[in-house]
Amino acid sequence: MPDSAVHALSPTAFERLAREVPGLPAIVGRLAARARARIGADDNATLERSDLDAAGPLFDWLEDWGRTAMRCGEEFLDVKSDAQTLSSAVWAFSNFELHHRKLFWVDESLAWMLSETRLDIEGRALRLPFPSFALVFSDPAAIALAQAVRDADGLDPSRSVRSITVHVTRLDGEGALGLGVSLCFFLDLSEGWPYLLSRDLDVREGDRLDAVLESHLPDVDPVTLDPVFLRPEMRALVHLVVNAILFITSADEPWRVLAPPGGSSRGRLTGGNERKSRRAARMRRQYSSESVFHLPGRIPIARVRELRAARAHGGGEMYARFMVRGHWRRAAPDWADQRARWIEPYWKGPELSAVLEREYVLKDR
C-alpha cells in the first residue's frame, strides 16, 4: 500500500485507556455483541446509558476492577471516581464498537477553517453520518482549547494534552426534544488516563446551531452544570465538533480511508517472526491501529500557522479588513439536494492573492 494511503495518527483514547485498564476491550466487545444480538438488523439503534447501568456484565466487571485496584493500594474515593469515568467511557466505546468503529481524523488545515465558520443555520441541518462515530483532532489550536478547559478544572498542568478524541453518539429516548447528541471528549494526556468530559446537546429543528452550543437535555438543571462547561474554550470545542459533523454530511467528495502503518486493521501486525512482532508492538505503541476517514483542508499547514501567528501578534486588523468568516447556507426549497452548503472562509483584496492558494475562494457546493 502506498505511503499516501497510510496515516500517522497516534493511538486513540480507547487504545490508550485499554493499555491502562486490563479487560477493557473484552467488556466493550461483549456489551456491543449483546446489543447487536438484541437490536438485530436495526442499524440505527444505540445503547442508552440506562441499558449499560442495568447490564450485569458491566457491573460485575467494574466490581472486579475496583477490588483489584484497592488491593494494589488505591484509595476508595479514587477508585469510585475512576469507576464512574470507566462507566461513561465504556458506554461511548460500546456504541462505537456497535457501529463498527467509524473514525474521522480532522487535519489541522480543515480544523482551522471550521473554527472560522459561523454556525448561522438551523438545527434541522445537523444530521449524524452514523449513530455513533468518533472524531480525532491533533492540531495545536484545538489542543490549546482543550488544555485551557482541563487547566480550569484545577488538575495538574504538567500533564499536557496531546490529542482529542470525541465520541459522538445519538441519544435515543433520553429526554431530548429534538436530536439528542452526546459528545464525549477524551483528552489524551502525556501520562495516565485520558481526561473525560461529557457534553449532551438537545438540537431542535428551528433553533440556530450557534444557540444549540449551550443547550442541554430537558432533565438537566442548568444551575447544576459544572462551570467548566460554560467556559468559552469549551464552547469553542463544541463549535468545532458541530461544524465538523456538518462538513462530513455536506461534502460531495468521498471520505478518503487511511490505513494504520504496517497493517490494515487491529491484530494484523502480530504474526510472523520475532523481529516483525517487536516492530509490530513498537508501531502499536506509536500509532493507532484503526483505519480512519481523513478529512483534509485546502490550505497548506505552513500557511495556516502563519495566518494564526499574524492574528496572535497584532494581525487582527488584517483579519477584520479582509477575512470573511465561513458560514453555512441552506439549500433553496426547490433544490433536489437539500444538504447545507459550506461557504469556506475566504479573504477579500488583491493584497492577499499571492498569499493564499487560488482554490481557497468562495465556493457554493
What pLDDT digit, counting tens, does each position of 199-235 carry? 888 888 888 888 888 777 777 766 666 777 778 899 9
Q: Give 265's pLDDT tier (boundaries 50, 70, 90).
A: very low
Give the alpha-carbon dihedral of 172, 167, 289, 160, to 10 degrees: -160
C-alpha cell at 214: 449551550
Percentage of residues of the chain with pLDDT beyond 70: 75
Question: Alpha-carbon distance 291 to 313, whole Å?
Answer: 38
Residue pair 196/184 in contact by the 8 Å Cβ criterion: yes
Q: In what order do the strands lie in the sheet with 292-295?
A: 195-203, 179-189, 161-171, 132-137, 103-106, 292-295, 256-258
The beta strand positions in the chain, using DSSP E, are 103-106, 132-137, 161-171, 179-189, 195-203, 256-258, 292-295, 323-324, 327-329, 341-343, 346-347
Handedness of CA 42, 44, 50, 51 (dihedral sign): positive
Question: Alpha-carbon distance 263 to 283, whole Å?
Answer: 10
DSSP H or E run through 111:
helix 108-115
C-alpha cell at 206: 428551528
pLDDT at residue 354 above 70?
no
Model pLDDT for residues 172-182, shown as the tens digit of each residue: 866 667 788 99
Q: What average pLDDT does the structure give for the chain?
A: 79
Handedness of CA 18, 24, 29, 35 (dihedral sign): negative
Question: Alpha-carbon distance 324 to 344, whole Å?
Answer: 9
pTM assigned to the model = 0.81
C-alpha cell at 24: 477493557
Q: Region 270-275: what's the mean pLDDT?
A: 56
DSSP H or E run through 19:
helix 13-20
- For 9, 165, 220, 227, 247, the CA distances from 203, given in Å and listed in that order, are 31, 21, 15, 21, 17
pLDDT at residue 136 above 90?
yes
Q: CA Rg, the chain, in Å?
A: 21
Q: Region 323-350: what's the mean pLDDT?
A: 69
DSSP H or E run through 91:
helix 76-98
- For 6, 11, 78, 89, 306, the CA distances from 17, given in Å and listed in that order, are 23, 10, 17, 9, 35
Provide the 10 A C-beta neighbour count for residue 238.
20
Q: Where are the domains of the chain?
A: 3-295, 301-352
- pLDDT at res. 310: 58
Cα 289–Cα 291–Cα 292 angle in degrees, nearest 5: 125
Q: Which residues contact 47 (CB under 8 A, 6 or more apart)?
A: 31, 35, 91, 94, 95, 98
Question: Alpha-carbon distance 160 to 157, whole Å?
Answer: 6
Q: Region 56-62: what's the mean pLDDT?
A: 89
Q: Give 119's pLDDT tier (boundaries 50, 70, 90).
A: confident
Model pLDDT for residues 61-110, shown as the tens digit of each residue: 999 999 998 988 888 888 888 899 999 999 999 999 999 999 999 988 88
